[in-house]
Structure 1
């Protein structure tokens, strides 16, 4: 669990999203996944059911009314267990929607979120009670209007789901050369069906997904491990440092050397 506060709008940032609930108590944010941009405000939550690169920004915040966000990790195996315990579980949605959507977070859902926040005052109780409250959140998500979408996400992210196995393979081997036909074979789908279902789930075509994973990991290596640009490029699977620098600049707005120099200048000034 994390509580995020922003006193002013921030520049867009790129990150790798994981299954989570991003609940806005005040202010507003947007997040984009591939070509889809989703806005969510106070009383709403971004429900993320897939690991995928995303770009996001706080766009409504001020010192008087800061943007306040509660970020909760979402355990999809827990969602499946709750669904199995329900007398009448929702039928997973059959549409080809992305694995991310915005939901109203009010009524019993907001009550659960507030109880989790109050547990910050009692860490010993939190260790026992928070998992129970998260199960309750899972129930209300499944029982609500977005229940079919939540059930679909839990189903797709099951270890037994063939598309999930292909996505996991891609994430584990993103630095290696990759062919869509091999991934489609893992998912036991035709290439066209795999491409369509993968993009519907993550918001990105398979090769673009791989590229963004590589560049996000390269940025982490550059910033947290002080790795050279050339070493980072080779580490994430690029054979050409010049191609790496071009694609890095397109994704992050500046070549890696210039961005690192800028960050170093900021650090020295601080």
Structure 2
């Protein structure tokens, strides 16, 4: 059995639902027997790998499509729109994600040679690359530990290190290195993003964010946009609107309540921004999502928590 077939079998057996946490720390499994509506969510700092099916991810005006011959990484938490675009009951969408641990990456970097042109730069925080056999096999061995749970405590950290090594020495390694560098532009931007996700409903400006990052305002703006593929204020708007949508669908708020809760003073501005991002006004979008199925409402909530 090939590595990809073995992974399909493993995920098919261990994925209990659409999203399945596992006994292996940082490993999540995904399964879907049909295409999904685009869901707006936060992609965490992780490796994402599909073993069957196809997915489309949009970040700002940029679109990324990947399948079982590619992998996707995110190095900071990014607000995206994602949809399963190829899946069926006969051939379900099967995928996994593995969290990145900056401390483990930092230790590993001490043993990984770094060429002069491979330092951490202002790379986009989301990227797709071709999947090679070495990376695929190391991921297979990590997931296979689900069949021998007694081995997880000892072997999972070792296999995870190998996965990180394959990624660090692969085509997206420069992006991953920046996670482990304590004072890199990426870690400063990540700190700002984390603060924004907590304080999104408050009023703040570029100067406030620049002080938090220890940068000048022009430098913060430039580095933030390079990593997030959007400006800081666009990032805040995405976070606000994603939370507003969750409140509309999962909590049953009306448009005025949701808009006010996420920081909008003007209902008309909230409605304009919401329609620009989701294509329809807030009330109509919430009614459509609730009417389609309760599962969609559950997915909106799960995407927020993942």
TM-score w.r.t. length of structure 2: 0.77
Give the aligned partner of residue 42 of structure 1. Answer: 68
CA shift for structure 1 position 160? 10
Give the aligned partner of residue 196 of structure 2. Answer: 170
Hey, what's the Cα distance between the residues in 1 that align with 2:171 and 2:280?
42
CA shift for structure 1 position 128? 4.2
Give the aligned partner of residue 217 of structure 2. Answer: 191
Q: 1:147 aligns with which of 173, 178, 183?
A: 173
Q: 1:83 aligns with which of 109, 114, 117?
A: 109
Q: Is the 8 A contact 1:50 1:157 kept in 2?
A: no
Please, which runs of 5 or more residues in structure 2 have no aligned partner?
A: 1-26, 295-306
Summarize the Cα distance change of 1:131–1:159 in structure 2 as closer, same or farther, 3 Å threshold. farther
Hey, what's the Cα distance between the residues in 2 that align with 1:56 and 1:240?
28
CA shift for structure 1 position 101? 1.1
Give the aligned partner of residue 236 of structure 1. Answer: 262
Count of matched residue positions in the alignment of Structure 1 and Structure 2: 268
Hey, what's the Cα distance between the residues in 2 that align with 1:116 and 1:204?
34
After TM superposition, list the pairs within 5 Å mapping 1:1-270 onto structure 2. 1-84=27-110, 86=111, 88-89=113-114, 92-93=118-119, 95-155=121-181, 161-267=187-293
Hey, what's the Cα distance between the residues in 2 that align with 1:58 and 1:157?
36
TM-score w.r.t. length of structure 1: 0.86
Question: Greater shift after overlay, 108-117 or 201-210?
Answer: 108-117
Please, which runs of 5 or more residues in structure 1 have no aligned partner?
A: none
Q: Is the 8 A contact 1:90 1:151 kept in 2?
A: no
CA shift for structure 1 position 95? 4.3
CA shift for structure 1 position 233? 1.7
